[in-house]
Structure 1
Amino acid sequence: MKNYQLEIKYCDNVKDTEKIILEDYWNLSSGQKPKEIARKHSITDADLKYLVKFQADVVAKGECSNCDNGFTIKVTSRADLAHKVGNAICVICFTEQLSLQKAERERIIAERVAEQKKEEEYFQTQEEIRKEKMAIAMEKETWLNLDDEGILILRQLYKTDDFYQLGRKNYYYGKFSNQMKLYLDLFDKLGLIHLQYRFDNPEKIQKVLLNNAVFPNLYLNKRTHNELSIHLKKNESTISPTAPVFRNTIVFDTIRVLEPHKTYLCGLRELPDGSMNLKITPADQIVKRAEELE
Structure 2
Amino acid sequence: MTIYNHILTQDDFVGQDELSYPFEERGLQFGDGIYEVIRIYGGRYYLINEHVERLYRSAAAIKIQVPYKKEDLYAKLDELLEKNQVTGDAKVYLQITRGSAPRDHAFPDEIEANLYAYVKDLPRPEEKLKNGVTTITHDDVRWDWCYIKSLNLLGNVLAKQAAKEKDSYEAILHKDGEVTECSSSNAYLVKDGKVYTHPAKKNILHGCVRMRVEAFCQQENIEFIEETFSLEDLQDADEVFLSSSTSEVMPILKVDELIIADGKPGPVTRTLQKCYEQDAGLPEEACLFSTAAAE
TM-score class normalised by the smaller sequence: under 0.3
Of Structure 1 and Structure 2, which has the larger fraction of its residues in strand? 2
TM-score w.r.t. the length of structure 2 is: 0.18
For CA contacts below 8 A with separation 6 or more, give which structure has more relative contact order. Answer: 2
The structure whose Rg is larger is: 1
Of Structure 1 and Structure 2, which has the larger fraction of its residues in helix? 1
TM-score w.r.t. the length of structure 1 is: 0.18
